[in-house]
Every structure is written in C-alpha cells, then in structure tokens.
Structure 1
Amino acid sequence: MMRRYACVWFPDWSMDRLRRARRGQPISCHSEKPDELPFILTEQGVTGLRVAAANASATRLGIGPGLRFADARSRAPDVQAEPVDRGADAAALEALGLWATRWTPLSAVDGIDALRLDITGCARFFGGEGALLNDIGERMAEGGLSCRIGAGPTPGAAWALARHGASRVNVCRSDHPVEEALKDLPVTGLRLTENAERLLRRFGLTRIGQLYPVDRTALARRFASKEAANAVRFRLDQALGLYAEPLVPLRPPPDYAARRSFVEPLISGEGITAALEGLAETLCDHLEQDGCGARDFTLTAFRSNGSASFVSLSTARPVRDAAHILRLFRDRIERIDPGFGIDLLALTAARPDTLETEARPLSADLAPGPVDRVALAALADRLTARLGEGSVRMPRAIASHDPARAEALAVFEGQEEDWDDAVLAPRSDRPARLLERPEAVDVLAEVPDGPPVRFIWRRVPRRVKRADGPERIAPEWWRTFNAEARARDYYRIEDEEGRRYWVFREGLYQDGRGGPPRWFVHALFA
C-alpha cells in the first residue's frame, strides 16, 4: 500500500492560539474590538525586537512576521503589542496533535505551526481521502483556526503543497506523479535554509521543477560547498520519495482500536457508558479473531471544541472480556469532562498477548491448585482501577537467610512464580509477619550465649517462661561487606502470660566488633 501523508499548516497559529485562549475576552487590554485595531506579537531577534505575528488590521498596513518592531510602529503608531508565548504555542499544538488522532493514530508536530498526519488506510473510514481532508479543514475552521492542507505520497510533498498550493486543500493523487505536482511550486517548498534559497534564486532556480535536470556535480559547483549542494538534493529527494522520512507519532499507535462517532455530541456520563459497551464488544471481537487478549486499554473522548480527554488502565493478565473491561472503566468515566460535547469515542488496546484459557473447576476439591488465578487477576484489576496503578502488591520470595530480606513486595502483574512453595508454605519455625523494623528491648537478666530471662519491651517488664533456639544468622558478606556487621542469634520465647516473641541478640560476646550485644524484638507469633 502506498503511503499517504497530510500536512495541516496554520499560517496564523500564534495569533489563532491566543484568540482561542482568550475567547470572550479582548486580545489587547486597550481594545474591545481586537480585529479593528492593529495588534502584533513580538519576539526578540538577533538584531532586536521583531514582529512574530500580526492580525488582519496590522497586515493591511504592511506589517508582517520578520518586520522590525520600530518599523511596525512607524507604519501604525497606535499598534498594540505583546510578547509571543512560544511555550504555550508548542503545548497547544501538541494538544491539537493528540486531538488529531481522531483521523489517524499517527500524528506528529511539524515545526512550530503545523501537524503531520500519516493517513495511509484511514480515508476509507471517512468516505474517501477528499472527504477526510475536508473534514479536517471544516473542524479546524469550527475551532477558529485558519489552516491550509496538503496531501501527497511523501511528508515533503505534503509540506510543500500545504504552503504553496493554489487552494486551501491541495492534493497530489496517488495515481499522479509527485514530480508533476511539485514542479511549479517555489523552491521554498523544499524546507531549505535562507542562504540556500537565496543562492538558488541568484542562479535563476526559483521553481522545484528546475532542479530536476540539474546533476549534483553541476549544483555543487554553484554552491560554496559540496555539503550545501547535497543538502538541497537531499531535501528534493525527500520530497520525491527517494529518501524515507520517518514520522515519530505523539502517541504510539495502538494494536487494536474501536471508534464510534456521534451526530449529536454526548454531554453526559450515561451516554459515554452506553457507547463504551458497544466499543468494548467490538474491540473484544477483534482480539478474539487473533486469539489474544490485551493488558493496556485507553478510552479517548474527542470533544467538538478541538480538545481531547482520555483515561487509561492496565490489567494484571491479558483479557478480552467486554463486561470486565466495562466494569474497570466505570469508576473512571467520571474523570472525562464532556465540555461542549463529545462527537467521537475511541477505545484502544495495547500490549496484546496470548490469552490463557482455563476451565473453571466444579468445586474447590477438584481445583488443580489452591489459587484461582483468573479470579485473583480479576480482583487485582478491580482494586487497581479503584485505588490506582501499583497499589496491588504481592509478596515475592528472595533467596536469603536474612528474614528482613527473605521477602519483598512487588506490583502484582498476574505472574505467580514459585507461588505455592514461597508464599503459601512459609517456614513453620518463623512468624508469618515481621515488625516494620526491629524494636530494641532492655534485658534485665540473661544467660551468656542464651535467651533473656527478663526483659522490658514497650515499657512493660516481661518474664520468660519458655525459650527455644538459637538460630544463628551470619551477615551476608557477599552482598555488602561491612567489617562492623555482627551475627544474630534468634530465639522463640514465651512469657508468663502466654505471649510468644521472636527476638534476637545482635552480636556475640567478645566477637571484637563493638560493645556488648544488643537485644531486639523482630516479630510476634500468632
């Protein structure tokens, strides 16, 4: 399939963006009718303050981008001005590029005032390429944005047609040679530097078609350097499709997607929920055809005012159950603000993987294992949807004799390696849970190299009735060597009231590694 690209160029982007941001307010604080008085945006240049953008009134007076601010004031003494906000312009253009994914999943920002869209295979969903491009232009105009559109087999051709085509929408058809479509356009359509354009005009090369018969050797003789001549040919080859020009999309394209547009925009959460049911079923049908499920789902709402809102979620295991997906999104739909109305909804799925199907046992006695992994993953998904990403964690066994390192909490991702051995069957001579950190105790009486006889913990004196141990655990020198690290002797003890503790003595008498040993409570037995 031949690639097709569209370039949407906004000639007055900075001014249009500011007008949209201050909708309902005058652009200039000194004017209640900003289009009647000249108004400009300025930017600091190499040689001083220059005009970055101008409204219609200023343009009629000969004020345009690149003009020095002093010259603009001489032509229109009452001109109003304020600095251009390039950061806000870039952020708004990126947001508009994300909204443009309503037409294609491959959209990118092109410079400071244009969008590049890969519309390959997308035209059939809109009634043809012409209808697609017209829809883009109409929706931009509804949002208060003036734009010109070019479409062709290469990004360079689309860029040139958008800026130098004869009409608002200029198309190089797939059955039409791109060389023929570009030959009458000026060389400024090749995205060259100002110096290169100036040299080409000096040599009488003002049209792109005039460069076709010129070979590289002859072109290099006219330029000061071979690199400059190669840059001109390189841009020409990109426009003609001889060199590929990759597009880096704002958002990675989804593996699966389902979309639905609405004649009457949605303005309530109930309408979004009803539409999501059909989208989830359609998406799951696509997944079922490939025999797989997905783990990342995103619901994107495209508003009629040119903005978009989306919510995402992830599942522990690949799923393709429409009811389960709808249940997970139900608590997040309220985060979508319909604004002036939603005219298109898209549900996308990423990270597809083979879906493991397991037959549900008739009873717990016939289950192959003690854990229903499908039900556990579904529970984790619901908790994650309610509490947030990374909130569901499961213990993971670590090969270590140190009880503080023998177990760690990891985000549950639907995998239970060594589940039965490591988690469901812990050591019976150790407590199931440890204190957050060992708590020091004051030993009132102890037997050398033995358990304490009396100790004070949490301001309460306790007398030991029974004791078992020790279990000696030496420092793990192969992890982090520390000459001051000391061995631990763990004891299971019980006081006169029947409470059982897991205590340890840190250090041995006369081990040469510090002062006398210290005692700690590390856990309690149930």
Structure 2
Amino acid sequence: MWFPDWPLDRLRRARRQASPSAKPAETRRPFVLVEPGPKGLLVAASNASARAQGIGAGLRFTDARARLPELAHEEIDREADRAALDRLADWTIRWTPLTALDGEDGLMLETTGCDHLHGGERGMLDRLGAVFGRMGLTHRMGLAATPGAASALARAAPGTILDTGAERAGLAELLTTALRLSGEAETLLRRFGLTRIGQLYGIERTALARRFRSEEAADAVLLRLDQALGHRSEPPDWIRPVPDHVARLPCPEPLGSTEGVEEGLARLLADLCTQLAGQGLGARSFVYHAFRTDGTVSSVGISAARPVRDPAHLARLFRDRLERIDPGFGIDLLMLEAHRTGPMSDSTAALSTELVGGEVDEGALARLADRITAKFREGVVTVRHPVASHLPERSERSAPFDGAMPVPGAGPTGPRPLRMFAHPEPVQVLAEVPEGPPIRFVWRKRPRRVVRADGPERIAPEWWRALTPPPGEATPDGAGRKWLAPKLDPRADAEFIAKVHEKLTALDPGRAPQPRARDYYRVEDEDGRRYWVYRDGLYDDGRGGPPEWFVHGLFA
C-alpha cells in the first residue's frame, strides 16, 4: 500500500477530527508543506491545486512562491506523520497479523492465508480500497509474491496482481523509479537511458556496476532488482509478533457501549480457550483489540505467570483494563490474540492447599501473581534467586516471577532479616572492643540503646573479587605500567593467590582493594525494634583504618 499524499491526508484527517464541521483550507486553494533544506525551505508535499501549477516536492519554496504568490504553506510534521502511519499499521492487523512499514508513506501486508476471508485477492484489494476511500486516504495498492514487486506495482501499476513467478514479465515495462532507488541512482539510470526495469535484465552485472560512480550505488540497484524478482530475500520488519492463536468477532452493528465490549470479550475467550484446549496448550499473553469504524484501534493486554486457558480467570484479569477501550464512533470488529503459548497439564486443581502434595501450591501462586500483575503492571511480581556469593547483598538476584519457585541454594549460615537494604547504611556505634556487639548506635540521626544482641556471624571477604578488576579495568603487571585481566579460579591454591595479592598491594597500594571480614549482629533496641548490623573489618587487621559499622536490614 502506497499513500502518495500521506502528509496532506494525515493533516486533513487531524483537522477534521479536531473540528468535524470545518473544511480544511488546503482543499480549496494551492497549499504545500515545507521543511528546511541545505539552502532554505523546500516543498515536501503539495496538494492537487498546487501540482496543477507545476509545484511539486523538492522545489525550493522561494521558487514556488515566485510562481504562485498566494501559495499557502505550513511546516511538515514528520513525527506526527510517522506516528499516524504506525497507528494505521496497527489498525490493518484486522486484515492480516503481519504488517510492516514501507518507508515514510507506505505499508506492507502479508496476505497469505488471509485473503480467502475477504473474497480472495481481488476482493481483498477492493474492500481495502473502499475502506481507505471512506477514510479520505489517497492510496495505491499492488499485490505480488515479493515485497519489492508489490511495492513497485503500487507505485507504477496500482491495482495489479501478479502470480508467483510472474515478476520478471510483470515488472518489465514499469519505470525504474518503482524500485525504491535513491535519487542519485535514478538520475544515473536516466542518464544512461535505462528508464524501464526490463532494460536492466539484459545488462551484465559487471557492466552495470562499471557505469556507476561508486560500487555501493551499483550494488543498491542490483539489490533492489534482485529483491523485486525474488532472487534475494527481503524479510520485512513486522511491527508486532505473529499471534499463535486468534479469535475474531465481527459486529453486525457498530458497538458503542462498554457492555458490548465485555460481552464480546466473553465470547472470544470461550472460543480462544477452546482452540487452545484442543491442542493441549495454554498462553501466557493475551491482547484484546477493538477496531473502530474511523480506522483506529484500541487495545489492552494481560500477561500470566504460566500458560493458562481458563476463561473465568482471564476475564478477571481483563476486568480492570476494559475501561481503557474507548468505543469512539463505534466498534465493528473485536479480536483476541494469544501469544507465548506452551503445553499445559490437564490435571484438575487441588481442593485445598493440604492436598497439593508440596509446601507451595504453584498453580494458586501463579493465579495470585496474575491478579497482582493485572492490577498494577508487568514485572511487579518478582522472586529472589540464590547466587553463589558469601556477601548478603550479592547472594540473591531479583527476577520476574515466571510461575515457578526458584531452586533453593545452599542458603546462608544464619537467619536473614525480612527487609534487607540494597545499600547498607552507615551508623555511629559504641561497642565492646575488640569484637563485642554494639551497646548504643545512632542511625538516621536517632540514638538507639541495645538491650539484646546475638552474634557475631563472621563472613570472610571474597578475596578472589579483589583480584578481579572492575569492568573496563585490569590489574597492573610486574612493571606497574600496563593493566592485565588475570583469569583466576577462586578454588585455586590460596597461598598462590595471597602472594599475588601481596605483590599487587606493593606495586600500587591505592589501586589494590583491601577486602575486610564482616561481623554481623542481630540486635534489639529498647523499643523492641530489631536490626541487622555489621562491623566492616577487624581491629589491627592491617587492611585499612578502624572498622566501620553499618545497618544492613530490619527484622520483623
């Protein structure tokens, strides 16, 4: 599909939607859209009245104004044009799930397996043309087995349908400008007298390449020719993933109420879940589309932690999001898509948690996570996965909940607080030395007196991390001039590692990090609040100054 007047049509539609009773001025007199060029303003698009006066795209605006002093103009809005084309591409998924942008003023639709739903290939083109005509969009369409051939037909022979394998003969008489070439390549082809695509067939490729000033320009012509003829593949960049399963519900009369949207969803969920059940599948993502009569689409989606196909559960997840669908001037088609499908067990749910057979009913947990995600946002439910590290802040990583509980690791040697800070907060401590627990400490500008203390739990430093440089850096070699990245195995000989660390410290004490042991204490203040504090370093350990104290978490 090619929309030759897309910027003007887009502006006209936007003005009509803003003020339905007003007639856009650009339809009554010569009008152009301009944009800055290297030597001043250039005409980017012109309406029929301006084109009748010889004013077209690429003309300098000063020359256009000299020809037609009363010429009206506005600056083109490329971002708004692209956003509107994106929305139109979204709307065309009602015809086929595979839609891509074709430049700044065209769309590419893959109709294989869809045209029979609309009366065949010719019937589909006629129906699309009628819809675009009602929208007020100037359009040209072509249909072929390759994207390049279809684009060429839309620009040079609109309405033509080529059968598979007929590209060579069908494109022979078309102008070379239909191959989506650069301006430089088109100019050179005209200079050589090559104005028809068929004239390129009989020229040797090496001879054609020699006629161009650069090898890149010749390769561009050959690439476009091969793509149009099907000799080289041209996979389009589809704007959305292809759904695994789809259910459609045409509306005999345009829907204008939320109740109709809800009833349509209930029917589509029953249909789609039946499809999934027939193949023993569930889906983790569902998208509900409402196609309006004005050529726009409103969509909402939900996600599940694990594959599901329960209509009641899915309806509950959609319930709080249906209010986002605006019927506008009416909805004439509803569609529900299922993405990320996977096998699903047919076993029935347990009557109670005691009958699950395990400590956690993962099915009930997944349904709870689905409801929370639907209420808030995607990724809000996370789980903590164990990581092989002694340091508490490195011993876990957060990841989105995918329906399964993480495999438990070795676990810490002592109890951990319910709430752990991402970054330990420093405190001022009065403690029994050298290794006693805190007696009093000041945290967040408030003094607290300790009445109970338990510990210490000593966590030794991860000395191998001290020998691994930060990202983008490395450790110095023996001369102290270059930086290398040694690959050391933490399980290697400890004596060897200690010698390497000692040498690095002697070479550059400022660069060599000094890992220190930590002593963790569980303390309770006089108000009953419990904290997880630690002393970073030991007295006279030779690895820095006096120890520092931090609060790392809070117990319930």
Query: Do they fold alike, i.e. is TM over 0.5?
Result: yes
8 Å CA contact 2:143, 2:150 repeated in 1: yes
Q: Which moved more, 1:301-310 or 1:270-279?
A: 301-310
- Alignment correspondent of 2:360: 371
- Alignment correspondent of 2:162: 172
SS in 1 for 2:7: helix
8 Å CA contact 1:51, 1:69 repeated in 2: yes
Specify whether residues 122 and 507 from structure 1 end up closer, same or farther in structure 2 by C-alpha distance, changes over 3 A only.
same
Equivalent residue in structure 2 for 1:182, among 158, 168, 171: 171
Deviation digits for residues 464-511 of structure 1 (CA, Å, limit 9, x no counterpart): 4x6554332222333357755443334456778987765544443333
8 Å CA contact 2:384, 2:406 repeated in 1: no
Deviation digits for residues 357-394 of structure 1 (CA, Å, limit 9, x no counterpart): 55434554443201100000000000011011122123
Deviation, 1:333, is: 1.2
- Alignment correspondent of 1:72: 64
1:53 and 1:509 map into 2 onto residues whose CA distance is 78
Equivalent residue in structure 2 for 1:433, among 418, 421, 424: 418
- Alignment correspondent of 1:476: 462
Letter in 2 for 1:440: V
Q: Does 1:340 align with 2:333?
A: no
Specify whether residues 49 and 26 from structure 1 end up closer, same or farther in structure 2 by C-alpha distance, changes over 3 A only.
farther
8 Å CA contact 2:419, 2:555 repeated in 1: no
- Alignment correspondent of 1:266: 255
Q: Does 1:13 align with 2:6?
A: yes
SS in 2 for 1:479: helix
- Alignment correspondent of 1:3: none
1:395 and 1:221 map into 2 onto residues whose CA distance is 63
Letter in 1 for 2:465: R
Specify whether residues 501 and 229 from structure 1 end up closer, same or farther in structure 2 by C-alpha distance, changes over 3 A only.
closer
8 Å CA contact 1:97, 1:109 repeated in 2: yes
Specify whether residues 480 and 341 from structure 1 end up closer, same or farther in structure 2 by C-alpha distance, changes over 3 A only.
farther
Specify whether residues 223 and 523 from structure 1 end up closer, same or farther in structure 2 by C-alpha distance, changes over 3 A only.
closer
1:228 and 1:80 map into 2 onto residues whose CA distance is 37
- Alignment correspondent of 1:449: 435
1:404 and 1:70 map into 2 onto residues whose CA distance is 66
Alignment of 1:135-154 (within 5 A): 135-154=127-146
Deviation digits for residues 22-75 of structure 1 (CA, Å, limit 9, x no counterpart): 226799x9x974322211112344554332222222223232223332332233
Q: Does 1:295 align with 2:284?
A: yes
- Alignment correspondent of 2:518: 488
2:389 and 2:19 map into 1 onto residues whose CA distance is 69
8 Å CA contact 1:26, 1:33 repeated in 2: no
- Alignment correspondent of 2:42: 50
Alignment of 1:202-351 (within 5 A): 204-216=193-205, 219=208, 231-351=220-340
Letter in 2 for 1:164: A
1:492 and 1:340 map into 2 onto residues whose CA distance is 64
* Structure 2 gap ranges (5+): 468-511
2:535 and 2:210 map into 1 onto residues whose CA distance is 86
Specify whether residues 479 and 69 from structure 1 end up closer, same or farther in structure 2 by C-alpha distance, changes over 3 A only.
same
- Alignment correspondent of 1:85: 77
Deviation digits for residues 152-179 of structure 1 (CA, Å, limit 9, x no counterpart): 12222212221222xx5222245x8333
1:461 and 1:262 map into 2 onto residues whose CA distance is 69
8 Å CA contact 2:95, 2:114 repeated in 1: yes
1:206 and 1:499 map into 2 onto residues whose CA distance is 85
Equivalent residue in structure 2 for 1:129, among 101, 121, 131: 121
Letter in 2 for 1:16: D
Q: Does 1:397 align with 2:382?
A: no
1:515 and 1:60 map into 2 onto residues whose CA distance is 85
- Alignment correspondent of 1:96: 88
Q: Does 1:388 align with 2:388?
A: no
- Alignment correspondent of 1:5: none
2:7 and 2:76 map into 1 onto residues whose CA distance is 7
* Structure 1 gap ranges (5+): 1-7
Deviation digits for residues 220-271 of structure 1 (CA, Å, limit 9, x no counterpart): 6766677766654443333222222221112222222222222322222221
Q: Which moved more, 1:512-521 or 1:370-379?
A: 512-521
Letter in 2 for 1:186: L
Equivalent residue in structure 1 for 2:16, among 18, 23, 37: 23
Q: Does 1:120 align with 2:109?
A: no
Specify whether residues 358 and 62 from structure 1 end up closer, same or farther in structure 2 by C-alpha distance, changes over 3 A only.
same
Q: Which moved more, 1:379-388 or 1:508-517?
A: 508-517
1:279 and 1:126 map into 2 onto residues whose CA distance is 20
Deviation, 1:316, is: 1.0
8 Å CA contact 2:304, 2:370 repeated in 1: yes
- Alignment correspondent of 1:63: 55
8 Å CA contact 1:143, 1:305 repeated in 2: yes
- Alignment correspondent of 2:540: 510
Identity over aligned pairs, percent:
53
1:273 and 1:57 map into 2 onto residues whose CA distance is 47
Specify whether residues 224 and 455 from structure 1 end up closer, same or farther in structure 2 by C-alpha distance, changes over 3 A only.
closer
Letter in 2 for 1:511: D
- Alignment correspondent of 2:501: none
Q: Which moved more, 1:497-506 or 1:322-331?
A: 497-506
1:415 and 1:138 map into 2 onto residues whose CA distance is 50
Specify whether residues 57 and 228 from structure 1 end up closer, same or farther in structure 2 by C-alpha distance, changes over 3 A only.
closer
1:463 and 1:114 map into 2 onto residues whose CA distance is 72
TM superposition score normalised by structure 2: 0.80
2:527 and 2:206 map into 1 onto residues whose CA distance is 99
2:210 and 2:520 map into 1 onto residues whose CA distance is 86
- Alignment correspondent of 1:4: none
SS in 1 for 2:263: helix
8 Å CA contact 2:245, 2:339 repeated in 1: yes
1:514 and 1:216 map into 2 onto residues whose CA distance is 73
Kindly report the root-mean-square deviation, in angstroms, between the aligned alpha carbons of the 2 structures.
3.5
Deviation, 1:151, is: 1.0
How many residues are matched? 507
Letter in 1 for 2:427: A
